[in-house]
Amino acid sequence: MAASTGDLADRIGSANELAFRRLSAIEPVLVGVREARDAIPALRERVVLHAGPPVVTEALCGPIRGAILGAAVYEGWASDLSAAEALLDEGAIALRSAHDVGAVGPMAGIVSPTMPVVEVRDAHRGAGAYAPLNEGIGAVLRFGANDATVVARLRWMRDVLAPALDAAVRSLGGIPLVPLMARALAMGDEMHQRNIAATSLFCRTVAPALAERAPGPGLSAVLRFLAESDQFFLNIAMAAAKCALESIREIPHSTVVTAMSRNGVEFGIRVSGLGARWFTAPAPVVAGMYFPGFTPVDANPDMGDSAILETLGLGGMAMAASPAVLGFVGLGSMREALATTQSMREITLGQSPSFKIPTLDFAGAPMGIDIRAVVKLGIAPVINTGIAHRVAGKGQIGAGIVRAPLAAFREAVTAFAARYAAPAPVAGTE
Amino acid sequence: MAASTGDLADRIGSANELAFRRLSAIEPVLVGVREARDAIPALRERVVLHAGPPVVTEALCGPIRGAILGAAVYEGWASDLSAAEALLDEGAIALRSAHDVGAVGPMAGIVSPTMPVVEVRDAHRGAGAYAPLNEGIGAVLRFGANDATVVARLRWMRDVLAPALDAAVRSLGGIPLVPLMARALAMGDEMHQRNIAATSLFCRTVAPALAERAPGPGLSAVLRFLAESDQFFLNIAMAAAKCALESIREIPHSTVVTAMSRNGVEFGIRVSGLGARWFTAPAPVVAGMYFPGFTPVDANPDMGDSAILETLGLGGMAMAASPAVLGFVGLGSMREALATTQSMREITLGQSPSFKIPTLDFAGAPMGIDIRAVVKLGIAPVINTGIAHRVAGKGQIGAGIVRAPLAAFREAVTAFAARYAAPAPVAGTE
């Protein structure tokens, strides 16, 4: 028994070392902006992607439901929202978890076939990941808004913004994302609730190429859209993080978390050594900073694939990098921010060699969440998250810090033990 | 005698309160980009502005001399550099301290009549200040480079860049600088050796307006110039700081510093209650981080008007805001950065209500340097500075931290005592 336990610990150690090496070596590059159905074969007619673990139509939360209806009108599957509702309720719109097809989306996370998606590829391994373009703030599909303005903006993004960005990015030969994200981290972005530095750097990088490759009357509107959305880069960062974590998707014996995500009903995680299986717990309601006039009673439970950033060691895990985000998420002081990131070191394999935190004298962000440490220490990953109104389309009503539910990690540890700690098969062919 | 001393202390207290209120209330706005001779009447034919206190031709340091020669060719006063040299040495080119005419320039600080300057005006008081456009890095006039490439770039800046920026900025109704600078400070710029956030925010703000007001073949080059110069905003920040400090230029009894500047030979300060008079000491050689292959032997003594930023509480005074600049200027740790800013609190009147430092839980930058405190405590203001090669045109060879020479402050305190602590005039009409 003791020897067997030792063997298992060694195997886990080696597997996690491999996972950490891969995460450390990742070089995601933004290669272009494509139509989703071209990039993601699963996106056939009347299929939409959503955030979080898989969910059935009947269980959809308000904002995701609203966003699906908007997407149906945008795609022309229905002439109006009530026709869209009929379609959805009769089961004529199929739902897929974005994570299951290599994509991630913030909040509702809805991606329909003709929406543009950013394409991020690892420079070495070639593996790709996708995310929709960020729509800006206010009434937007990702919070379930679905009126004519929202649909018109989505069409403009498809017809004007996406081709312009694609031409610009391709003319640059792609944009390496690790250097840009590392620079933004040194400029106070934690890259989940704060992306103003990354967005500004991105904008400054693509603007000359936009002027060259997409001149004309649409150019100023494209540049204005980038200028007015401080979170534009969020979705690109999410695709970069997804790309990184895809590189460790199924390493036998690895206890490293490869996804944390929420569909507004359930919070789910995936673990490298356990492959595509989701381990879930009820999605928490966020005890955060609510905008004036709103309280937790108005809040939808936590939602979105954006916790992929924390899965890589950014967002709440890298809180110390972003003193400017503290007030927004409701943390009191720099001291607490430092303590938050330091406590995340206890549940991670090591420090990112790329993503450095200046306030910690350039120590790396805590990377590689180990389910064993989370369960053993009872320290759950910290996630910086936006809070959506539970009614579709009412939008963001706050932001705050949420802890990933420990129950999901406990379930994963149990499953891990069942799979790997069982008596060894006769011929050692496990 | 005691009552008289008390009176004086009260008067100084009131004067400094007024100075602090004015500095706190300043709202500098970038209103446009103009030809220098239109904005600054002193800039007649064959006049150039230079950084630092006034200096005579015979005493000029290498880089400033080189920059003047380049400006003479740029202006067409001389057909080549040797003709320019002859002109300068026969006294045919008049030198003015930029500070004396409401302008500031980094390093050599050379402004000649047809160069474009940014115009910054206070939204309330209307007072203006000017700075040349930043040329980027490498072989540039501000380090004394003066070959054909440098002159050609200056002409492109005059003919293409300046009109485009002017049209864009004016179409926006001007750009309020305090919000932009405050935001950049929260993104790790200290706004002297690090301006990447401010430059990126500025670029993102003007890009849509540039596309609208200056479309055409020059646009991508303009956007690329802004994209490739991380210090582009430095000169704008300097003009904003100069604009702020002009508001307290001559407040009787005030002991607040209104300028710190260097001409490569002398370091000078001005004090509100002592008006336009310079108090000087030899310019120090910077003990900083030298680029590979260079040592302090190669260094020109400290140079440039950019210490106007420290005069307002930014740059080295706000070191804690910029953990990412520490390595560049040779400071070892975040702890030292915090300590640096905290020690600057001892020699300043208070904290800026606008420029907040996230790592100090959003305490304001230390603002309003008091010559009495500097001399009494022996704590000299900290300046983050670039190091120029002493040979014209060899460019930047490092960066580092320099202390303003205490001797200049002692001289100012003595002059202050002579002016204000003299026996009161008979009728109290002082």
Is any Cβ of chain A less than 8 angstroms from the Cβ of B164? no
Reduced to 3 states (helix: H, G, I; strand: E, B; else coil), residue B167 is helix
pLDDT digits (tens, 9 = 90+) for B141-153: 999 999 999 999 9
The answer to whether the CB atoms of A188 and B183 lie below 8 A apart is no
- Say what the pLDDT of residue A89 is: 97
Burial profile B377-416: b = 16 or more Cβ within 10 angstroms, e = fewer: eebbbbbbbbbbbbebbbbbbbbbbbebbeebbbbbbebb
Is any Cβ of chain A less than 8 angstroms from the Cβ of B336? no
SS3 helix, strand, coil % of chain A, rounded to 5? 45, 20, 35
- Comparing CA positions, the residue from B266, B285, B240 lying closest to residue B122 is B240
Q: What is the DSSP letter of B339?
A: H
Is any Cβ of chain B less than 8 angstroms from the Cβ of A337? no
Domains, chain B, in order of start with CATH, read 2-23+249-420 (3.90.1700.10)
Distance of CA A340 to the CA centre of its chain: 20
Residue A304 bridge partners (DSSP): A262
Task: Compute how many other C-beta atoms are within 10 angstroms of the C-beta atom of residue A364.
Answer: 19
Contact present, A219 and A210 (Cβ < 8 Å): yes
The answer to whether the CB atoms of A215 and B212 lie below 8 A apart is no
- Comparing CA positions, the residue from B133, B129, B136, B95 lying closest to residue B114 is B133
Q: Which residue is closest to B225 within chain A, CA to CA?
A: A208
B interface test, pick of A204, A205, A357 with most B CB neighbours within 10 Å: A204
Contact present, B82 and B70 (Cβ < 8 Å): no
Indicate the pLDDT class of residue B279, thresholds 50, 70 and 90: very high
The answer to whether the CB atoms of B204 and A226 lie below 8 A apart is yes
Task: Please name the residues in contact with B284: beta carbons below 8 A apart, sequence gap of 6 or more.
Answer: B267, B301, B302, B402, B403, B405
B interface test, pick of A183, A206, A232, A359 with most B CB neighbours within 10 Å: A359
Indicate the pLDDT class of residue B287, thresholds 50, 70 and 90: confident
Residue A256 bridge partners (DSSP): A370
Q: Which residue is closest to A331 within chain B, CA to CA?
A: B361
CA distance A204 to chain B (A): 5
Angle, helices A177-185 vs A232-246, to 10°: value is: 120
The answer to whether the CB atoms of B215 and A219 lie below 8 A apart is yes
DSSP string, A4-37: HHHHHHHHHHHHHHHHHHHHHH--EEEEEEEEHH
Is any Cβ of chain A less than 8 angstroms from the Cβ of B363? no
The answer to whether the CB atoms of A227 and B215 lie below 8 A apart is no
Phi-psi region of A399 (alpha: psi -120 to 50; beta: other; left: phi over 0): beta
- Say what the pLDDT of residue B427 is: 44
Is any Cβ of chain B less than 8 angstroms from the Cβ of A193? no
- Residue A157 CB burial class (10 angstroms; 0-12, 13-18, ≥19): buried
pLDDT digits (tens, 9 = 90+) for A363-402: 999 999 999 999 999 999 999 999 999 998 888 999 999 9
- Residue A293 CB burial class (10 angstroms; 0-12, 13-18, ≥19): exposed
- pLDDT (mean) for B285-308: 95
Is any Cβ of chain A less than 8 angstroms from the Cβ of B201? yes
- Residues of A in Cβ contact (< 8 Å) with B161: none
- Residues of A in Cβ contact (< 8 Å) with B207: 203, 207, 223, 226-227
The answer to whether the CB atoms of B204 and A208 lie below 8 A apart is no
pLDDT digits (tens, 9 = 90+) for B321-364: 999 898 888 888 999 999 999 999 999 999 999 999 999 999 99
- Say what the pLDDT of residue A100 is: 97
The answer to whether the CB atoms of A215 and B215 lie below 8 A apart is yes
The answer to whether the CB atoms of B207 and A223 lie below 8 A apart is yes
- Say what the pLDDT of residue A430 is: 37
A interface test, pick of B180, B191, B223, B338 with most A CB neighbours within 10 Å: B223
CA distance B325 to chain A (A): 9
- Say what the pLDDT of residue B422 is: 62
CA distance A240 to chain B (A): 22
Q: Which of B199, B203, B361 sits opposite A333 (nearest CB)?
A: B361
Name residues 49-108 of chain A within 8 A of B (Cβ). Answer: none
The answer to whether the CB atoms of A183 and B196 lie below 8 A apart is yes
- Residues of A in Cβ contact (< 8 Å) with B183: 196
CA B105 to CA A167: how far, in whole Å? 39
CA distance B326 to chain A (A): 9
- Say what the pLDDT of residue B393 is: 83
**Cα end-to-end distance, chain A, whole Å:** 17
- Residues of B in Cβ contact (< 8 Å) with A219: 211, 215
Q: Which residue is closest to B229 within chain A, CA to CA?
A: A204
Residue A351 bridge partners (DSSP): A366
The answer to whether the CB atoms of B197 and A200 lie below 8 A apart is yes
CA distance A180 to chain B (A): 12
Residue A367 bridge partners (DSSP): A350
A interface test, pick of B326, B333, B356, B359 with most A CB neighbours within 10 Å: B359
pLDDT digits (tens, 9 = 90+) for B63-74: 999 999 999 999
Task: Compute how many other C-beta atoms are within 10 angstroms of the C-beta atom of residue B354.
Answer: 20
CA distance B402 to chain A (A): 22
Please say if the pLDDT value at position B424 is more than 60: no
Q: Which residue is closest to B226 within chain A, CA to CA?
A: A204
- pLDDT (mean) for B282-303: 94
The answer to whether the CB atoms of B334 and A359 lie below 8 A apart is yes
Task: Please name the residues in contact with A90: beta carbons below 8 A apart, sequence gap of 6 or more.
Answer: none
- Residues of B in Cβ contact (< 8 Å) with A339: none
- pLDDT (mean) for B221-236: 97
- pLDDT (mean) for B50-62: 97
- Comparing CA positions, the residue from A404, A339, A351, A340 lying closest to residue A378 is A404
- Residues of A in Cβ contact (< 8 Å) with B199: 204
- Comparing CA positions, the residue from A289, A308, A370, A239 lying closest to residue A52 is A308
pLDDT digits (tens, 9 = 90+) for B76-119: 999 999 999 999 999 999 999 999 999 999 999 999 999 999 99
Indicate the pLDDT class of residue B423, thresholds 50, 70 and 90: low
DSSP string, A248-264: TTT-TT--BEEEEEEES
Give the ipTM.
0.93
- Residue ranges of chain A whose pLDDT lies below 50: 1-3, 424-430
- Say what the pLDDT of residue A371 is: 98
CA A196 to CA A302: how far, in whole Å? 23
Task: Compute how many other C-beta atoms are within 10 angstroms of the C-beta atom of residue B209.
Answer: 22
A–B interface: beta-carbon pairs under 8 A: 100
- Say what the pLDDT of residue A423 is: 54
CA A392 to CA B6: how far, in whole Å? 68
- Residues of B in Cβ contact (< 8 Å) with A198: none
- Say what the pLDDT of residue A239 is: 98
- Say what the pLDDT of residue A6 is: 79
Mean pLDDT computed over every residue of chain B: 95
